[in-house]
Structure formats: structure tokens, C-alpha cells
Amino acid sequence: MAEAHSAVAFSFTVTQDGVDVKLNHEALHAVWESGIVSWKKRIGKLKNNIHNGVFPSSPMSLLFVVTLLLALKMAGWDSSLGLISLLHIHTPVINSYSFTVGLYLSTILFGTVLWLLMTVLIRYFIKLLLTYHGWMYEMHGRISLRTKLWLGLIRVFGGRKPMLNSYQASLPKLPVPALQDTLRRYLESVHPLMDEEQFRSMEALAKDFGEGLGRKLQRYLVLKSWWATNYVSDWWEQYVYLKGRSPIMINSNFYGIDAPLVKPTDRQASRAANMVSIILRFRREVDREELDPIVLNKTVPLCSAQYERQFNTTRIPGIETDTLQHLKESNHIAVYHKGRYFKVYIRHKRRILEPIELEAMFQRILDDESLPGKGEEHMAAMTAGERVPWAKARREFFSKGKNKASLDAIEKAAFVLALDTENVDYDPNDPTSLDRYGRAMLHGTGYNRWFDKSFTLVVCPNGRIGFNGEHSWADAPIMAHMWEYAITDEYFKLGYREDGHCNGTLVHQPPNPIRLEWDFPQLCLDQIESSRLVASQLIEDVDFHLFMYQEYGKGFIKTCKVSPDAFIQLALQLAYYRSANKFCLTYESSMTRLFREGRTETVRSCSKDTCAFVKAVEAKVENKELIRLARVAAETHQMLYRDAMTGHGIDRHLFCLYVVSKYVGEDSPFLAKVLSEPWRLSTSQTPHQQTDKLDLKKYPERICGGGGFGPVADDGYGVSYIVAGEDTIFFHISCKKSCPTTGAHKFGRLIREAFADMRTIFENK
């Protein structure tokens, strides 16, 4: 399967008869083609930068302004109040032309400057408008006059046909909350979790911090917010992700699964080909900025900065900290199958390969019966194990020769494709089938995913698909956007023949896959085995449960007049209380992409109102009172969620204050205690319908099953859920087997019971 490629376009030798020059026309043609593609991308990038640089204005508006000024000038009306004449007289070059030509040129120059000034003012006006978040706090269907006026101004000045990054310069900066506000909110969030003595102690620590060291740290943080684009994101990426030395498999990486109710083909190579093809189309739309930016309520844009590193990106291990390596482009993907790695080119003759061509290449890999090299099969376990040993091994054993070349082929790939050998699927008659599906995507065997890659696309022999994503480069909604785009267009735009193969006819033979070669000394083999054992131990300790709840979904919840997310969070609190007979600090992720380079904030879902509702349910209070308490708790949750989205959260502010304290060399007992508190219940909702491609009312069976992550605390749960339609909710639950008080299936059963009880409460009003 290995294929030799000439790397030299020309060579020469000196003989007695003179210089003998040999040209490799194929290599020269490849160099020429690569240069053409590269220059096309540069020109396209320049065009996009110009478009985004003047958005929401357009070249047509410039033409309109200049033409209008010229017409007025020719009609004898100087709308510039004499400025055009001053430009005519005092501008070098222009004043050397004849009077008429110079007058026209000075008018064009004035019109251009005026247009640029108007563009800058409009952009700053949009940024000012986007700092208004009052619309989020208004009741559904009751819009104030102020918000109506704001909506009108946004729609008038917001521009037309934006590209992916058109709004970036107009997004406001994430504000630093007032210190006392954050301390007050923090104390409110932990009060129901502590007894009075513990709370008084924490209150005293918060007071000392707020009146002393906190003020100093706050000043530094405000100064950083003036200078940096986002005062949180760089530190969050560095300290929460890249500086972590523990394994990223399970602990950090996340996963996604297929739409379990449908499967367009049973052919592994065909499904892989269509998915790779549509994902590459998505990459092209991101590169060209043709992907529509996400705009809430068709009015408020979200930050698109995270899309940039979705492809051609790898987390590189380091001794003290990892780094992210991102390439502007990549013309190949890396493929793993039966312990072997292949480099597969995705571009040929200035075009992306067609699905039928990709299918032929993948089938060659599936049909190849060669054995993996010594150590090759388990090599990726190093990306699943501890970071320091992997960093040392990479530096020592992958810095030269064929190992470096082969590792480069993986790390510089657009992404990794894993052609698995074990089937996973959804079987309604087998309650554990989805458990195996989720585990396969969360960790696999521990060595059949390249966990450092931005994402690994997984395709099983029966055609089932999923992915495993690295977390430092972006958050799950970015992958969810691509996944929704891919699994929808794969079916509706590409499709399959009746026999399950990709549509189309193979006209040109695509390039052969290139088998990567390795040469590992015994010390490297020992490290690979050590990392494999670490990965195996982590996998063995994971207790996992994935189930599809179909008793009811969003349809019934809406009749309860509460937010679906708040409803689910109440059910989770009820389930946890029944499992532990106490409440716990609860993490729910919320995005802050209303601000430039925003990532996430924490919603502390366990509030005093939530606790009051749960205790009332357990005390069997009458339904009318339970409904009232549920709606109060749901409204509190919604307020917390809105606060988090609009820059008034608690945890990112406290985290950044802690980082500043380490920089200035001062310890804070308050911050140390806050950041050491375990999140025993870590939750997240998987977003869907981020595109307009999928009509769930027309195709309800095509809903994706969402994705999940590993437990955050040793004695806690990781719970991800996706409201998959009017009557379906998927839950992904993880915990550790080594904890005697937790159990994924036990918690799943308690969630079902909580949902059943809440339905009874609202049905018996």
C-alpha cells in the first residue's frame, strides 16, 4: 500500500560530458498546482478582509456616495462646505492636474474619506447597540418600546448578507463585573449548600477579600480588560486546558454521536467518504467565510472566532504546558485502521476529491491486509495518557527521520478519520446498546483515536458514525454546528445509491493512500505500553449510561409554562438529592459569545429556589404549591442563565482574579477555597438547529443524539442532554466506578423517576 512520491522537481549531475539536468514534470506540475491553490486562497482572504473591514457598508455604498457628490458638484452645489476645494488646492499630485480633472479627483477623495468615516461611526454605533441586553430579560411576547426601538436600529444599521466574521469588529468586549456584585452573587449561590457556621465563615472570607486584596486584583483585571480583546479567554485556554498535565481523554475531550433513529447506508467506506466530503465543504465555507454567522432571533450576532481553528489544528504536548498548532491549510487527512496509519490526499488537480473517489481510497485501506508496525497499533495511547511522558517521548523519538515525517502527516492533517473494526448501534430492544455507542466515542480502546487532534471522525463497519473532540481550541457548540451541517447535507445533498454506495461514477483514479512508517526503539515502545496501561485504567474506571427518554419532551414542558432547560435542571436537582440526600454545587455551561472572543460561563443551577422546590416535592406538598415553587425556581434559573450570557456571571471573574493573585504573588484564602470546591454535578445542554438545514417537524427521526463528556469530580456526575424534539430527550451520564456512592445507571433511573414525578405535578393542577 505504501507509495513513493518524488520530492525533487529537478536534479542535476556533473559528468565528463557536462551538466546533466533532469526535470520531474509531475513534481513541477504538483508545485505549480499547489501555488495556484495557495494564491487563490490568499486573494480570497484579502477580498474577505476588505469586505469585513468595511461591513456593514459595501462597495456599492461607496459608489453611491462618490457618484452623488460628483453629481452635486457638477450641478454647482458644494455639499462639502469648501473641503473639496481645499483638497484640490493642497493635495499633492491632484493639484498638478488640470482644474476639471483635479476637481473630480478631489471630489472622489473626499467622498471616499467621508464614506470611511461614516462606516467607522456606524460600526461603533452597532457595537454600542449590542451592549444592550435588556431584550433577554423581557417576558416572551411582551416587548418594551425601548427594545422595539433597539431592534429597529439593529436591523437598519446591521448590514445585509454578512460573512462569517463580518460582525467581529462590532461585537462589544466582555465587561468585568463589579467586585461586590460578584461576591454577593457567589454567597447567594453557596448559601443553600452550607450550614450557618460554614456560611458565616465564607461570608467573613468574602468580606475580607472584597475590602482588601480583591480591590487590588480587580484594578489589574480592569486594566487587562482595556488592553485585551477578552479578559477571560486567553487565560481560560491556557490555565484550564493547555497547562493541565493529566490525561485529556475522558477528563477533557468530548464526543458526539449519529442520528440513532436513521442510518443512510451500511457501507463503511461510503459513509466515511460522504462525511469527509461534506465536512471538507464545511471547512471550505469557513475558510471562505461563506458560512452564515449564527444570529440570535435574526438580530443579535454571536462571535465566530472559534471556527478558525476547527481544522488543521493539533494540541502539541509540552513539559510544562501544551500549545496549539494551527495551519492555514492542509491538503490531506490521516486515517487509522486496524492499527495502521495512512496519509490520504483530499485534493487533486485544484479540486477537492468527489465522494466516489474518496470511497475508492478508503476501500483500498479497508481491503489492505498488511499488519501494523511494531508499536504502531497502540501509539495513539500516548495522546490519551499523561502529558509530560508524551511530551518527552515526542521530543526524543519523533524529532527526526521517518517518525517525524509520519507524525507530521498526522498532526498537520485537516483531521483524523478512524475506520473502526467494532460495530455500535442503537437497538431499542437492548438498553445497553447506546451505552456502548457513547463509550466508543468518549474513549474507544484508548488508542484508536488521536486525542490531540481538533477532532477525530469515527466510522464503524456498519456505517454508524461519531466524533471525539479536543476541548482547548473551542467549545462543543462549534463542533455541534459542523455536525448538524454534516449529517443533514450528507443525506439531503449528497445521498447514496440504492446499493449503499456514494452517488456518482468513478472517472479518474484518485491518488493512492500513503502508508505511514515508524521505527520505534525499545524505550519508545515501553512508553507506548505505559501510556496504554494508563488509558486502560482510566477507561475501566468510567461508568457510563446513555438513554433516550421518550415519555415526553419539549412539547409537554412548554405546556407547563417553564423553560425546557430550567425544567430539566430542576429534574436533575431532584434526582441528585434523591441519590445523595443533599444538594451539591452544580455546573451548567452557558456561552458568552455575545461578546468578542467569548467562550463560556458557569450557571450555578443549584439555587435556594431550586432547593425549596426539591424539598417541597420530597415533603409531598400539594401540587398547586409545587407548581408555584417550580415556576419560581425556573425563573430564577433563567435569570442566572441570562446573567451568565450577558457578562454578569460569577466563576470566570473569580477565576481571573485568582490568576492575577498568582501573578502578583499574593495568596487569597477566599479564592483558594472557592476554586477548590468540587463540581459534583457538571451539566451541559447540546445545542441543535443552529442551521436552517433540518426541519425537525418534517423529519423528526433525523435528530442527532447529541454528545457528552466525562465526570469532572471523582465523586460526581457528568450529565449532558439534548432536547431532541417534541417528545424526545437524550441523556449522557458519566461517573467513576471507583466511587461507591455514584452509579450512571442508578442516576439515569432517578432522572426518569424525577421526570415522571414532575409530569404528575403539572398534570394534576
Catalytically active residues, by annotation: 471
CB 398 within 8 A of CB 391: no
- Of the candidates 512, 511, 510, which has an alpha carbon nearest to the alpha carbon of residue 356? 510
- Of the candidates 285, 265, 263, which has an alpha carbon nearest to the alpha carbon of residue 273? 265
Given 3-state DSSP classes, what are the helix, strand and coil percentages for the chain, each rounded to the nearest 5? 50, 15, 35
CB 303 within 8 A of CB 328: no
Which residues are bridge partners to 335 per DSSP?
342, 417
Quick one: CA torsion of 238, 241, 244, 246, rounded to 10 degrees?
Answer: -170
Return d(Cα 703, Cα 262) in angstroms, integer: 9
Return d(Cα 468, Cα 449) in angstroms, integer: 8
Q: Strand 332-337 relative to strand 416-419: parallel, antiparallel, unpaired?
A: parallel
Instruction: Using the structure block, give the residue that is written with the C-alpha cell 480502546.
Output: 445
Quick one: CA torsion of 176, 177, 183, 188, rounded to 10 degrees?
Answer: -130
- Of the candidates 588, 554, 602, which has an alpha carbon nearest to the alpha carbon of residue 720? 588
Cis preceding-peptide flag for 700 (omega within 30 of 0): no
- Of the candidates 407, 284, 417, which has an alpha carbon nearest to the alpha carbon of residue 359? 417
Return d(Cα 600, Cα 592) in angstroms, integer: 5
* 4 exposure class (CB count in 10 Å sphere: 0-12, 13-18, 19+): exposed
Return d(Cα 468, Cα 453) in angstroms, integer: 9
Return d(Cα 309, Cα 234) in angstroms, integer: 14
360 contacts: CB under 8 Å, gap ≥ 6: 506, 509, 510
Return d(Cα 728, Cα 433) in angstroms, integer: 17
For residue 101, what is its C-alpha cell? 480633472
CB 594 within 8 A of CB 645: yes
* 641 exposure class (CB count in 10 Å sphere: 0-12, 13-18, 19+): buried
Return d(Cα 332, Cα 342) in angstroms, integer: 10
- In terms of residues, how long is the chain? 765
Return d(Cα 648, Cα 642) in angstroms, integer: 8
Q: Which amino acid is at 234?
A: D
With residue 275 as reference, give the H or E element that holds it: helix 268-287
Neighbours of 497 (CB within 10 A): 13
Return d(Cα 749, Cα 246) in angstroms, integer: 31
CB 719 within 8 A of CB 754: no
Write the CA distances from 38 to 20, 34, 334, 568, integer angstroms: 32, 6, 21, 49
Contacts by 389-398 with C-beta closer than 8 Å and gap 24+?
389/527, 389/530, 389/531, 390/317, 390/531, 391/317, 391/318, 391/319, 391/322, 392/319, 393/524, 393/527, 393/528, 394/316, 394/317, 396/523, 396/524, 397/520, 397/521, 397/523, 397/524, 397/527
